[in-house]
Structure 1
Amino acid sequence: MSALLCHELQNAPRETLWIADENSKALLQQGFTFTGDLLSNRWDIARLGEGKAGRSFFSDFHFEELGRNYRRIVFPVSKEKAIVHHVINRAAEFLGEGGELVLIGGKQSGIKTYAAKAAQRLGCAKQLQKHGAEYCSINPLQTRSGEAIEDQDYTALRPLAELNGLYSKPGLFGWNKIDRGSALLAKLFADHLPNSGDHVVDLGCGYGYLSTRLATHGDYYFTATDNNAAALIACRKNFEVQGLEGAVVPSDAGVELEANIADLLICNPPFHQGFQVEGDLTERFLRQSARLLKSSGSALFVVNEFIPLARKAREHFSTVTLLEKSGGFCTYRLSR
């Protein structure tokens, strides 16, 4: 997607907002510079945008924090439908008169459907152009009163019965269910408890399921990290409601945390980067886990069974123990 996205950004007026998600990472890593504003719900993308965009913002798409309207909003559509619907809805509010929303996506991204919905929301005719394997939809703002698109009440943080009362919201992967791998790992906590008061790092915390389950076994200090703004909002709420002691902080696989702080590290690492399977993610989480653990500490991981975690972990840990293989998942205990 970088070629089409790069073209649209290079030819955009200065008053342009780039909604940058995981699909934009490659472009930023190439050193691309952009005179407009960048908004991302991903910590790593927002950090990469610093110094490469006029202004770079990290939030769960809180447009009101930007403090202005735009002549153009450029959005390579996200994998999460609720995010796309939310951004289209907000574009009708934050485009200036005569402004336009530009959607970019491949055939499998749902771009054709999103182009129709954007036209409905902004009151314009549906427009879609093919550029090789990619599509571009340019939607001029004709009205701010077009029918809003269902976005699952995107901004609302809510307790869910499916999560045993934990809070969550759209915009977070698996936001309304308990991940089967995480549930499998949580069942093993009772056999691998740290000492009372020990420091636990929850790497890639999501809405905080693993931390809240471990906290039912004792009193620990938690540092929970995630790259996703919606996850951080939900996890902070669950820490507050459940009475967990600790901090919830944005981080890209724990890179920003100090070394040698964790007595126990718990992790269900992601393996998708947007629409792609990203094999390097597991390696990054393992490398950072080894850095974060105290010499006497251990890590508990769960991964899909096709992830070669045991092989990758041996580069960073002296002991790699398979605890259980069940339901397509493997759980491991790793120690330095």
Structure 2
Amino acid sequence: MSTLLQQLLMENPSETLWIADENSKSLLFSGFSYSGDLLTNRWDIARLAEGKVRHSFFNDFRLDETERHYRRIVYPVSKEKAVVHHVINECHRALGLGGELALLGGKQSGIKTYAAKTASCFGSSKQLEKHGSEYLSLNILHSPLSAENRLDEDNYPELRALEKIDGLCSKPGLFGWNKVDTGSALLAGTFDEHKPTDGASVVDLGCGYGYLSTELAKCGDFHFTATDNNAAALIACRENFKRRDLRGTVVPSDAGAELGDGIADLVICNPPFHQGFQMEGDLTSRFLSNAARLLRRSGRALFVVNEFIPLGKKSLHYFSSAKLLLRDKGFCVYRLDGPLDGTAK
């Protein structure tokens, strides 16, 4: 996709907005730069784009925050239908009449269906071109958004309290938004036995909507720093901290890389090592390295991962010991102690 994506971005970059998710990251890694704007819901992409684009916007796909109209928006479609529908609806905010939305995607991305829906939403005819293994749909905006042509986005921007997740707030756009992840539930089950003392500082890496922090808060009085790479997760987690009266902050971060050394007594983490998730380099090592760096020397980390991840072995590059606390339902829960010299203060 990178060749086609790059071509579309470079045809009129000053009048182009690139909506980027994980499908676009490889192009930024290649050193590509263009003189247009980029909007993403991923903190790592927003940071990576700095200096390579004119403006980099990080938010939950709020196109109105760019505060301008574009002649073209280029969007490699996301995996979740509600996200794609929301972005297509939002494009009416950022495109003037006669502006163009370019949708890109592979055969299994739903691009053919999205092309038809966008044509109906924009009051235009369906356009779909095949470029190798990828498809391109070019859509001209002929009519303003109305209730009749608006796509169903499942009230995408709206936080909602869900009984399935103990009344916590969540929303579409973040992984597992409407359920308690099995691994997280197993990890939370170890908190009472392995909790730190009251007043301890806790870092929640990859916090999602904040389930792990809110569960640990039931066991004592702690100060939390919750981080996530996803804008929707940060919005939900902040609201849950407020509603549950948790002490601490919720900040964007790429696997905790932006946080200071030696700030935590405990790190809790259910990292995105799920089968089918796009792996970027050695993600396991990045989470482990940052966890060790964030901990004080007396600190510990509690991780849960799918059982196919050799976390126990990998963790010994960063911790003096790794104890398997639980193996159940395809997951392993580990306690990691003693961050090694050079990784913590």
* Structure 1 length-normalised TM: 0.97
Q: Which amino acid aligns with 2:258?
A: E
CA offset digits 1:239-278 (Å, max 9, x no partner): 0000000010000000000011110000000026996344
| 57-66 or 269-278, which deviates more | 269-278
- Could you tell me which runs of 5 or more consecutive residues in structure 1 were left unpaired when the two chains were aligned: none
Q: CA deviation at 1:215?
A: 0.1
| 145-154 or 205-214, which deviates more | 145-154
Give the structure 1 partner of residue 20 of structure 2: 20
Q: Could you tell me how far apart the structure 2 residues matched to 1:97 and 1:330 are?
A: 53
Note closer, same or farther for the CA distance 1:233–1:274 as it changes in structure 2 (3 Å cut): farther
Q: Which amino acid aligns with 1:106?
A: G
SS at match of 2:137: strand
| 138-147 or 192-201, which deviates more | 138-147
| 220-229 or 125-134, which deviates more | 125-134
1:97 equivalent to 2:116? Answer no
Equivalent pair of 1:22/1:274 in contact (CA under 8 Å): no
1:227 equivalent to 2:226? Answer no
Equivalent pair of 1:13/1:71 in contact (CA under 8 Å): no
Q: CA deviation at 1:280?
A: 1.9
Equivalent pair of 1:19/1:39 in contact (CA under 8 Å): yes
The number of residue pairs the alignment matches comes to 336
Q: Could you tell me how far apart the structure 2 residues matched to 1:81 and 1:308 are?
A: 33
Q: Which amino acid aligns with 1:65?
A: E
Q: Could you tell me how far apart the structure 2 residues matched to 1:18 and 1:107 are?
A: 21
Equivalent pair of 1:271/1:279 in contact (CA under 8 Å): no
CA offset digits 1:123-175 (Å, max 9, x no partner): 11111111111111111111124611111100101111111110011111111
Counterparts of 1:1-336 in structure 2, within 5 Å, are 1-145=1-145, 147-271=149-273, 276-278=278-280, 280-336=282-338
Q: Could you tell me how far apart the structure 2 residues matched to 1:13 and 1:193 are?
A: 52
Note closer, same or farther for the CA distance 1:18–1:177 as it changes in structure 2 (3 Å cut): same
RMSD: 1.4
SS at match of 1:165: coil
SS at match of 2:319: coil
Q: CA deviation at 1:93?
A: 2.9
Q: Could you tell me how far apart the structure 1 residues matched to 2:174 and 2:109 are?
A: 18
CA offset digits 1:43-102 (Å, max 9, x no partner): 111111111111111001111211111100000111122111100011123211210100
Q: Could you tell me how far apart the structure 2 residues matched to 1:317 and 1:198 are?
A: 20
SS at match of 1:34: coil
Equivalent pair of 2:115/2:126 in contact (CA under 8 Å): yes
* Structure 2 length-normalised TM: 0.95
Identity of aligned residues (%): 65
Q: Which amino acid aligns with 1:285?
A: F
Q: Could you tell me how far apart the structure 2 residues matched to 1:200 and 1:307 are?
A: 24
SS at match of 1:53: coil
SS at match of 2:153: coil
CA offset digits 1:167-208 (Å, max 9, x no partner): 011111111111010001001101101010000000000000
SS at match of 1:26: helix
Q: CA deviation at 1:106?
A: 1.1
Q: Could you tell me how far apart the structure 1 residues matched to 2:9 and 2:314 are?
A: 38
Q: Which amino acid aligns with 2:31?
A: G
SS at match of 1:88: helix
